[in-house]
Amino acid sequence: MDDKYKFIDFLGLRFNVANCLSALVVALLVFILVFALSRKVTMKPGKAQNVLEWMIDFTNSIVKSAFPGESGNRFSLYAFVLFLFIFISNQLGLILQVKVDGFTYLKSPTANPIVTMSLALVSLLLAHYYSVRKFGFGGYIANFARPVSFLTPVNLLEEFTNFLTLSLRLYGNIFAGEVLLALIGTVAKSFGAVSFVVAIPLEMIWQGFSVFIGAIQAYVFTTLSMVYISRKMTKE
Amino acid sequence: MAGILVLGAGKLALGDMLFILISFILLTWAVKHFAWGPVTKMMDARSDKITSDLDYADSERASAEKLKKEREDALKNSRAEAIEIVNKAKDNGDEQKKTIVSQAHSEAESVRQKAKSDAEKAKQDAMNEAQNDIANLSLEIASKVISKELNADDQKSLIDSYIKELTVNNETK
């Protein structure tokens, strides 16, 4: 879409106000949610604690399915935060989009490739870091020549495709969802009351579907992150 | 504050990456500190508790089963013991009965023996006494008879009776 953004140049770096603000809002929302749910932690869980434990069990099961045995336990927290962050990010743009004077200030942060690339970068950096830590730098390099040495270029290429597919899949899904939402919004405004009435159910349907897509994409992103980390930590 | 620029595209907003990385790391830290830590600790504690409770229940059940077995054994043993005691008592009673009966038999025998000998002795005594009495009586009679005058007829009949007696005795020999 022809969204316009405000940029701030600071210390030679360029900041997109919409992205930063949205990410901040999402981070705060995640924190508030988790904080509110974890107030009374007891041996016999109450309602709030049950919800939180259900979410933790959910992300833990993602981690468990990717890692053999107990080796993935140290990534449980990362998976939990990553999942919640992406999930809330995906939903934020469906509920709230703020535009002032044509400039977007608030939307889904994951509808921007820079944000999804940042998240994918975190996952893949973790994968490479733990691979080096486990096998040593020599072992880490040698792992690129597995299972046979002539596959080394493919393995190297795979690192880039992993990064791009991981980030762009999420970006594409959420961005497309928001584009369609905005399109339906313009339809609603085009012919006055008649089109407004027609557009409302369409918007509702698409919002519901986008909630579903957002949840699925958060799940996919978290699962793939864990799989990439796990694969870097095993010898093929 | 740097100047605010309005740009559609162009320079990559690398600052966003930095901002998101920092905010993500801060968020992770905050979540860990305020929620993840306590909750997972509690979850671990709960799973430990459940495991230990299950183990405890298992061991309790095992010990209860053992106790039950012991009790059953004891019950079985006590029954056998009771039977043994009763049998012993019965045997003892039989033996005692036998000895009492035999003792009674022998006693009765001795009493009978004694009574018999007593009777014999009494009889003997009575006979002796009677013999004496008869002797005395006959002596008295004889003296009385002798004191009476013996006439010829009497003498004759006396002699006859003697002779008769002698002949009877000879005939029988």
For B47, the enclosing helix (H) or strand (E) is helix B37-147
Check whether B3 has a pLDDT greater than 60: no
For tokens 């694969």, what's the residue?
A231
Contact A24/B at CB under 8 A: yes
Residues B4, A31: C-beta atoms closer than 8 Å:
no
Contact A25/B at CB under 8 A: no
Contact A77/B at CB under 8 A: yes
What is the model's pLDDT at position B55? 93
Residues of B in contact with A21 (CB under 8 A): none
Q: Which residue of A has its CA nearest to B13?
A: A14
How do residues B35-76 score in pLDDT, each as one tens digit?
888 888 888 888 898 999 999 999 999 999 999 999 999 999
Domain hosting residue A142, numbered range: 4-232
* Domains of chain B by residue range: 24-146
Residues of A in contact with B39 (CB under 8 A): 38, 41, 49, 52-53, 56
Candidates A15, A33, A78, A86: best to mutate against B (most CBs of B within 10 A) is: A15
How do residues A134-157 score in pLDDT, each as one tens digit?
888 888 888 777 777 788 888 888
Check whether A178 has a pLDDT greater than 90: no
Residues of A in contact with B20 (CB under 8 A): 19-20, 23, 109, 114-115, 118-119
Check whether A231 has a pLDDT greater than 90: no
Residues of A in contact with B6 (CB under 8 A): 4, 6-7, 103
CA separation for the pair A167, A221 (Å, rounded): 8
- Judge whether A9 and B5 are in contact, CB under 8 Å: yes
How do residues B131-155 score in pLDDT, each as one tens digit?
887 777 777 777 766 666 667 777 7
Residues of B in contact with A10 (CB under 8 A): 1-2, 15
For chain A, the average pLDDT equals: 83
Residues B23, A24: C-beta atoms closer than 8 Å:
yes
Mean pLDDT of A186-198: 79
For A22, the enclosing helix (H) or strand (E) is helix A17-37
Number of domains in chain A: 1
